[in-house]
Structure 1
Amino acid sequence: MTLATKAFRDLPEDYMYRQAILRFCHGCFNAIAGEMAANTRPSTMEAAVDKVKWAVHTHTAVHGRAKRDVRQTTVQDISQGWFLYSVKEESQSPTGQSTLTPLGACEKRLDTIKQ
């Protein structure tokens, strides 16, 4: 609001408030929540913040949190304080099946060769 006051000092106060609220909605990190809040055309900044928070809350409630990669790390003692770190990464494909990353696929092949 401080920046809007400086930017729109020669324009009507009502216009300044509408533009600041609209720019807040358009500049949200979560674009979907910002769009939903902007479409409700809130009249105050507090109302805009509430609309964004509610949009984030309902989106998370309906769709859940974003899936993150699963990472498994093992540490093996080789000799005298040197450690070997082995990292396997697995991610969920859109079909829900586990897919290995290139590093995980290479380690899986090495395990097969060792056996």
Structure 2
Amino acid sequence: MRMKDGKGRARSSSSSTSPGLVDKLGALTVQGQALNSKDLRYDGKTSWLAFRKKFEMCADYNIWTETERLQRLVWSLTGKAGEFYAIYSEVVTFTYATLKTRLGERFGTREVIEMSKVMFRQALQAPDETLEDWADRLLELATHAFYNLPEWHLTEEVVHHFCQGCTDKEAGKHALTQKPKSLEVAMNTMKYFQHISQAIDGKKGKKPREEVSVNAVQKSAAGTSMLERMDALTKAVKE
């Protein structure tokens, strides 16, 4: 028997729903729009994250119990997802939470990896972010994006993008030319380059006091000799 709650939405008076009742579901109403039960299908090829959000929204709106959620989720599985459930349900007793987790591990992992790779490729050092913080953030992103790759490959990806994505492009280019084998070596190379650059560039705009004094004396002497020559030339012309 199905009763209506205070909002007029239908729900079961018992904590379970028979498979036959699940098959007889008509259109589910979500936020005033009819959502046909045929839309709640997952075959293992489309986006698991998109399906899960759609399913949970529908389940929350209709106030399904955990048992009802499990039955409707099982009913919605087709194709590879249906085969996955059929095989593992022979040896595992699923709850709604465990089935959702297993489906996510089986069909949602690829999406998470691809999303992590995009975030890793697009990451850039923030203007107020230190090299240490930039390295930590990039390493965390890489751990999710390349978790199934050898450690040497992960290190290579992190080192290259660490240099390429830093705010100091000159230091990053210099570090890449040194072909660092680890993140620590790359960071130290960049820091040393920045230290040397700052030391050299800081002296460009300043001349030593002695140099300034010598230049002033030389200019004064040059100016004096020029005046003497002009006076001599003027006297010679008059004579």
Structure 1 length-normalised TM: 0.53
Q: State which of 10, 15, 20 in structure 1 corresponds to 2:158.
A: 20
Answering whether residue 49 of structure 2 is matched by residue 49 of structure 1, we say no
Higher relative contact order (CA 8 A, sep 6+): 1
Task: Determine which structure has the larger strand proportion and give its number.
Answer: 1
> CA separation in 2, counterparts of 1:12 and 1:64?
43
Q: Give the SS at the match of 1:37.
A: helix
Which structure has the greater CA radius of gyration? 2
Is 1:7 the counterpart of 2:145? The answer is yes
In the aligned structure 2, how far is the partner of 1:64 from the partner of 1:39? 24
Q: Which runs of no fewer than 5 residues in structure 1 stay unpaired?
A: 68-115
Where 1:64 maps in the other structure, the secondary structure is helix
CA RMSD of aligned residues (A): 1.9
Shift of 1:65: 8.0
Higher percent of residues as helix: 2
Residue correspondences, number: 67
Instruction: Please state if 1:32 is matched with 2:170.
Output: yes
Q: What displacement does 1:45 show?
A: 1.0
Aligned pair partner of 1:64 in 189, 199, 202? 202
2: CA distance, partners of 1:15 / 1:66: 42
Q: TM-score, normalised by structure 2?
A: 0.26
Query: What 5-or-longer segments of structure 2 have no aligned partner?
Result: 1-138, 206-239
Relative distance call for 1:12 and 1:60 in structure 2 (3 A) is same
Sequence identity percentage = 33
Q: Distance in 2 between matches of 1:56 and 1:66?
A: 15
